[in-house]
Structure 1
């Protein structure tokens, strides 16, 4: 047997925080990370998916010595389903390290397969925690985990996730908290089919909500301004951009292996039983499929509409960078000197780094500049042409300015082509 022990030596008396058994294997039967929904792949057993640095204590709490049961009450997220009959939150439980539960799409009731849905949500959100850690959303930056292992920030703030939540349909919300307090994420069923569909299996909504808060962004709001400020994306334009950031992370992290520059992304297509999208337009680099530009925001008064414009710009950047650097279809990036080697993860990394460089309540122009500055800091500006072309194509070029009415600018700065 091989074990690692983690001890709190800062307080008296010293206590053991966790003991990891390196022989035991955690197995989750899920749709693998990156698979959008049951329409796009099959469930499989994923073994030991946690990242040893991002989740050095593992994903689960130690075995409950009273019940001898493991469950989805974990160190980064606490996930359970809500029952309209039984009430309360019900985690998935297992007498061992195998979380393997049956699931048949479009058969039976939501509750018939709640353990599979809870396991899917637990797996995806933990994968996001570990990926965002790799991309520098760490404890010091205000991420979400119970024990920060001496890495700065405040602990005791694992995300509480409620799946099959009653009270609404076709939606999800994220109730933000300051660093050191656990936020809450509610995922509601889709009611567009009979039987209803569990949104735990619509991976895009899990990514969107984990990345995004109801009026803030989990990732960007805690990195835009200090982690103890919940209001740095509260004005109308940045609040709308928050929706766009969440859509972008979902689109980028579920790019299909066969996808290319001409591929589109539809928000919640499976859950809604609709091959189009939950948004006004598909995300696309084709101006006939999605014609939105910076000035389109003038016509909108809802945050999701504004977010669609912002995500459309980021989607252009995603494919410009993939065209230049290629695409890594693995769940985590290959890094060289802190830089992802492929365009998909590089686009996410630059966007993430931009959060820390933009001011509180940024405008479109300021958020664009933060991404450009992030590329200068990370790569020396190697991708300036690809980034500028993406924004300029959608009207946020060099001459674009903040203010109303917004006017399109399709020009590039000097030295960029």
Structure 2
């Protein structure tokens, strides 16, 4: 039994089961956390994705214990603990289904879905986090099924009968992944019965999860698995080709990649193909330049990227960067059981056969890059493009910050919501996703205790100001963005700049207080500020709810600190967030609040 105060039950249950229904008039930005409208497919159709408003509660270091007289759940499975917890707050286990979960030391995470008549609710999801024997957070977008208008549970239209129309509308083909039957909450509070199918176009790199009304055959919503960025061997802590190539010997981390980077199950490859990453152009990989897995082609940006030597060098750098991202994030908790990308999981949990497919100089675009994150068990696909702003053209794989940004999409989309790839789909959460990508690139590029301003995409864009409106900076004269800026922003990259700059400020104060470690990639147990920052960065992703808001993402950082450091950095974090308007009393109206908790 979980012990709560008497007032907790009715308050949580009432907010938890309150079906979200649109009301007017509201400012357009009020829908950032629940909606996102996209124009997609060859017919340029407009489709709106919707996530019921989240309830998210963190409990700090004093969360309720999972125990009762004569009955302890300590040591129980993540599933049993989560379902038992839900029972204590009045949610019948017959109305939910356990989706996924994992354990990371004393921390445990469970991801659940609401069900109606045994059918899962696609956007009625929840997550429970435990630290030892305590509940530390609970988030959910559950709806009140008793009051909602719910479509009949038996389909009257088959998905195969309307598949040609859906394929035509979205400009792709059904990719053979099993179709599912799921309920979907609509913006007006009604609940549609939907067939869920994946539609993919490998030539244009479009990859959608289509929700098709099982009674009308109409497309009612989409999940877009592809995250786009507007901005690519360099050592991972160098940013661009201009910083200088180096020859690195045995850079793999055997704690994260125990059989090295070239393991492919039945021995080793001698190409840019391995357990974590396959780096290629078209059907071609880069072969070792000499025996012993030596990949020494040297890139020259005075030549076109498609030059044979440059192409080999580009595939090699892409292979290197993505493998380092795999290894370092593994150290910080993005492991097999936590839904990472690997061909083989070595019996450590999670789903296999989903290494990252890294398409270099991809023919489907220019002046960009993107990362598609399908559910655990399906490969993430990163496409890197040539940039034609200069002559000769420049290759995105020669700017590490672009590739780091893209791989971070894979990490954040997998860790948020339990490996589904569905949980950064609203406008606000999509913006958070872009912000995390820039923040990760900035973290990689900080090389001393003196936090420097950071600019994204300066090399490929051939502009020292880079691709963003402002450099990331603690100086408000250099970067004036605050939480209130979201009132005038309605695009994910612009929203992401606000979040990334907030995290830049968080990083700076932690390093100022705790110092800097050069072992940040391999020693997640260090006490220095840059390591503490990344521990909180990664832990918060698993704590936060599906499609989080800025406020919920901030609260997840605060809870992560309570879990990992007993709240030692709580005031530091609040002061940093509040300095950019995301203070204690900030809400979803995007009004700046600079309040910090009492005692801070």
After TM superposition, the score normalised by the length of structure 2 is 0.59
Q: Look up the match of 1:395.
A: 581
User: Aligned runs of 1:324-363 on 2, under 5 Å?
Assistant: 324-330=513-519, 332-335=521-524, 339-363=525-549
Q: Give the aligned partner of residue 21 of structure 1.
A: none
Q: What is aligned with 1:294? A: 483
The aligned counterpart of 2:78 is none
The residue that corresponds to 1:105 in the other structure is 301
The answer to whether the 8 A contact 1:69-1:96 is kept is: no
- In the other structure, the counterpart of 2:397 is 200
Confirm or deny that 1:277 pairs with 2:478.
Answer: no
* Uncovered stretches (5+) of structure 1, i.e. residues with no partner: 1-29, 82-87, 213-217
Deviation of 1:133 (Å): 0.4
Decide which of 128, 132, 136 is 2:329's aligned counterpart.
132
Q: Does 1:44 align with 2:246?
A: yes
Match of 2:367 in 1: 170
C-alpha contact (below 8 Å) 2:582/2:594 kept by paired residues: yes
Tell me which residue corresponds to 2:494.
Answer: 305
Please say which of residues 369-378 and 322-331 is displaced more in the overlay: 322-331
Task: Confirm or deny that 1:74 pairs with 2:274.
Answer: yes
State the shift of 1:401 in Å.
Answer: 1.0
1:368 to 534, 547, 554: 554
CA-CA distance at 1:271 after TM superposition: 1.2
1:70, 1:97 within 8 Å by CA — same for their partners in 2?
yes
The separation in 2 between residues aligned to 1:155 and 1:48, in whole angstroms, is 25
Deviations 1:81-101 (A, max 9, x none): 2xxxxxx23211014311111
Further displaced range: 164-173 or 129-138? 164-173
SS at match of 2:365: coil
Q: How does 1:232-251 map to 2 (within 5 A)?
A: 232-251=423-442
Question: Aligned match of 1:223 in 401, 409, 415?
Answer: 415
SS in 2 for 1:118: helix
Matched residue SS, 1:90: coil
- What TM-score do the two structures reach when normalised by structure 1? 0.84
Question: Residues 161-187 of structure 1, C-alpha deviation per residue, up to 9 Å, x if partnerless?
Answer: 101112322211111111111121101
Equivalent position of 1:59 in the other structure:
261
**Partner secondary structure for residue 386 of structure 2:** coil
Q: Deviations over 1:238-278 (max 9, x none)?
A: 01111001110011111144x724x2111111111110020
Q: Summarize deviations over 1:326-361 as a string: whole Å, max 9, x none.
A: 2223461434xxx33222232122011001111111
Helix, strand or coil at the partner of 1:310 = helix
Distance 1:248-1:98 versus aligned 2 partners, 3 A rule: same
- Measured in 1, the distance between the counterparts of 2:249 and 2:335 equals 24
What's the offset of the Cα at 1:69? 6.8
CA distance in 2, matches of 1:413, 1:323: 21
What do residues 90-137 of structure 1 show as CA deviations (whole Å, max 9, x unaligned)?
211014311111222233443331111111110111000000000001
Contact 1:80 1:90 in 2 (8 A): yes
Q: How far, CA to CA, are the matches of 2:284 and 2:576 in structure 1?
A: 45
Shift of 1:34: 0.5
Work out whether 1:145 is the aligned partner of 2:342.
yes
Name the residue aligned to 2:6.
Answer: none
Measure the CA separation in 1 of the matches of 2:357 and 2:429: 25
Q: 1:191 aligns with which of 388, 399, 419?
A: 388
Counterpart for residue 379 of structure 1: 565
Change (3 A) 1:369 1:109: closer
- Higher strand content, 1 or 2: 2
Q: Structure 1 pair 201/331, CA: closer, same or farther in 2 (3 Å)?
A: farther
Aligned partners of 2:305 and 2:386 also within 8 Å: no
| SS of alignment partner, residue 300 of structure 2 | coil
Q: 1:321 aligns with which of 510, 515, 524?
A: 510
Give secondary structure in 1 for the equivalent of 2:247. Answer: strand
* 3-state SS of 1:368 partner: helix
Structure 2: how far apart are the matches of 1:31 and 1:64? 30
SS at match of 1:164: coil
Distance in 1, matches of 2:494 and 2:582, equals 17
**Alpha-carbon offset, residue 62 of structure 1:** 5.6
Number of aligned pairs?
Answer: 365
8 Å CA contact retained: 2:262, 2:269:
no
Counterpart position of 2:237: 34
Gaps of 5+ in 2: 1-232
CA contact (8 A) 2:339 2:376 kept: yes
The change in CA–CA distance for 1:169 and 1:205 in structure 2 (over 3 A counts) is: same
**8 Å contact 1:400–1:407 — kept in the other structure?**
yes
Q: Tell me, what secondary structure is at the counterpart of 2:571? A: helix
Shift of 1:63: 11
Q: Which has the larger radius of gyration?
A: 2
Matched residues in 2 for 1:376 and 1:240: separation? Answer: 26
